[in-house]
Amino acid sequence: MWLRCTSRRLLTPFNRALKHGRLNASSWSGKVAAVMPEAAGFQGVTDRATLQEFSHAHSDSFWAAMANHRLTWTSAYDTVQDCDLRRGKVKWFVGGKLNVSVNCLDRHVLTCPDRVALIWERDEPGAEVKVTYRELLEMTCRLGNLLRRRGVKKGDCVTIYISDALAERIRDANSSTVITVNQGVRGGKMIDLKKTVDAAVDTCPNVRQVFVAMRTETPVVMKDRDVAMEEYVFDYHDGDVFGCVADIGWITGHSYCVYGPLANGATTVLFESTPIYPDPGRYWETVQRLQINQFYGAPTAIRLLLKYGDQWVHKYDRSSLKTLGSVGEPINTEAWEWYHKVVGDGRCPIVDTWWQTETGGICIAPRPSDPDAEIVPGMAMRPFFGIKPVLVDNEGEELTSKSASGALCIAQPWPGMARTIHNNHQRFIETYCQPFPGYFFTGDGASRTEEGYYQITGRLDDVINVSGHRIGTAEIEDNHCSAVAESAVIGYTHDIKGQGVYAFVVLKKEADITEPELRQQLKDSVSKSIAKYASPDYIQIAQRLPKTRSGKIMRRVLRNVVERDLEGLGDLSTLDDPTAVQEIIQGHQALC
């Protein structure tokens, strides 16, 4: 990907169709029909809903049309797919070759070199840097040439340091080259990344060289294996701005800050900071300053900001916003309403997007087939093009009735899906293909309404079984109590009921309620909305919940604390703030 920086643009079937005047430019399905005239049924497709049906019924034709229309191929593929979910075999576009740089950069440099490709939203507000497509291609070429000069070849694995557990990952990938910056900057603090890299690389004899870019002025000790990289030249331009504020080390950052926006020639924001630095208005101040049009973030951040009150949002002009996205976990009703009414002034649709690292991109979202479709709060709703979700019962039978709930699987392969687990294909088969043979198993539970809308109920291993009643933790967490900003519910071993319900709650900053009142309110609310048996046995009030840097609550840590298995806490290196665990332990000891 790094080494190929040519600008040759291939004449795709889509371009050919355009050239020969066969394209009805106003109709998206017309574009698809134009590139796949042989696809039976495509010609008659005139609306997006029918196209969605077509994408399910004629998956190969659909994906072939997408691949031809959306991507530039270096060599054409021979076969659209060769997949067998029963055997964990996933091969797409067999024989074809394409280049990420060509697709994300080169082709856009030909048509719009000065469009802003990405906006680096630096830790310090007001110091953003804009990089055009031309500049980004130049930087990519420079980096590619540097790696090539230093002996990195096609097929070599290069590790870019953006997350924890570095040594393990370098060894796992058998990487010989590592790229890092001297220091990271987050929430006004400097983090010595180079030092961490040094310690990790000392235990990885295969690493030949470490490239070091200077993110801050602080000098670092350079070892023999280290290679200094140069600083870049930037430019500023106007343009449409896609603001995915996810951590770049999370798949959401990869797919929706980098590859997705760049492959589509969009201007993307790289948000480096935190939602509350220097104050809880940071997101909205950034929206105002960068004129962000689509804002995409995680419910955990929304709940955090909700705690601080509306004034931080009202302070800034958010009129540039058109769509608000949510990703990564179920968005509870209160957070959804706040996001919609306060952040979006009630005028921006909220798209609650469901997907996973393993799916590569969004699979269920409110509006793939109809821009004016109804949106139900807190529901991911409708399958994306080419994605065929099914619900399966414990015996592996597909639930065919309209309204149903069960294990969420995907019935046919799609190009963005994971193909294996690095160095452990057997584990891939066991985890995703064997639980429900013939289907890709997501590990999530979901329910489907009469209208065919999907609602994700959470990870299946987060289901609690109280006296024989199975309840998703998200169902209990979604109970409304105006004093609570966020909550996490887990099951714990109970002598009589099998499992009991233990709830952790974080209060809003302005909450004015006594502990007995709070407990009573929560118990009443759960009893009323679900049933008495679901009402929590314990309610622990916490300052914060243990979370990963991508905002996921680490429930296993909560379970360990409640089951008093502190020895088994395991790897905590992905925790955002390790002090949260100590607080949770102390709170638990005080309560029980």
Exactly one of 355, 428, 432, 440 binds ligand PRX (CB under 6 A); that residue is 355
User: Which residue from 61, 132, 183, 252 is in contact with ligand PRX, where contact means CB under 6 A?
Assistant: 252
Tokens representing 374 are 């109804």
Alpha carbon dihedral 430, 432, 433, 439, in 10-degree steps, equals 160
Smallest distance from ligand PRX to CB 362, Å: 8
Take residue 338 and report the two structure tokens written for it: 């706040």
What's the closest the beta carbon of residue 354 comes to ligand PRX, in angstroms?
4
Give the C-alpha separation, 388 to 412, whole Å: 6
Rounded to a whole number of angstroms, the minimum distance from the CB of residue 357 to ligand PRX is 3
330 in contact with ligand PRX (CB under 6 A):
yes
The nearest distance, CB 329 to ligand PRX, in angstroms, is 5
User: Rule CB under 6 A: is residue 352 a binding residue for ligand PRX?
Assistant: yes
Classify the phi-psi angles of 499: left when phi > 0, otherwise alpha if psi is within -120 to 50, otherwise beta.
Answer: beta
| 251 sits near ligand PRX (criterion: CB under 6 A) | yes
State yes or no: residue 328 binds ligand PRX (CB under 6 A). Answer: yes
**Judged by CB under 6 A, does residue 503 bind ligand PRX?**
no
Considering only 4, 48, 134, 459, the residue that binds ligand PRX (CB under 6 A) is 459
Cβ neighbourhood burial of 136 (10 Å; 0-12, 13-18, 19+): buried
- Binding to ligand PRX (CB under 6 A) within 539-578 occurs at 550
Give the count of beta carbons closer than 10 Å to the beta carbon of residue 236: 11
Q: Where does this chain touch ligand PRX (CB under 6 A) — which range of 223-231, 286-294, 354-362, 582-590?
A: 354-362
Tell me the C-alpha distance between 182 and 215, whole Å.
Answer: 6
Separation in Å, CA 280 to CA 71, 284, 344, 504, 568: 40, 9, 16, 23, 35
What is the enclosing helix (H) or strand (E) of 185?
A: strand 184-186
Which residue of 176, 177, 209, 353 would you call a contact of ligand PRX, by CB under 6 A? 353
Q: Which range of residues in 135-143, 158-166, 188-196, 437-445 is near ligand PRX by CB under 6 A?
A: 437-445
Residue 552 CB coordination number (10 Å):
16
**H-type helices in 298-343, by residue range?**
299-308, 311-314, 333-338
Options 247, 329, 477, 486; binder of ligand PRX; rule CB under 6 A: 329
Instruction: Name which of 354 and 436 has its Cβ closer to ligand PRX.
Output: 354
354: contact with ligand PRX by CB under 6 A:
yes
Nearest distance from C-beta of residue 444 to ligand PRX, angstroms: 5
Which ranges of 176-310 would DSSP assign to H, the alpha helix?
193-202, 251-253, 260-263, 282-290, 299-308
Q: Does 380 bind ligand PRX (CB under 6 A)?
A: yes
Question: What type of residue is 74?
Answer: T
Residue nearest to ligand PRX (CB): 357
Which residues within the stretch 268-327 sit at the binding site for ligand PRX (CB under 6 A)? 327
Q: In the complex, which residues of this chain contact ligand PRX (CB under 6 A)?
A: 251-252, 327-330, 352-357, 380, 442-444, 456, 459, 550
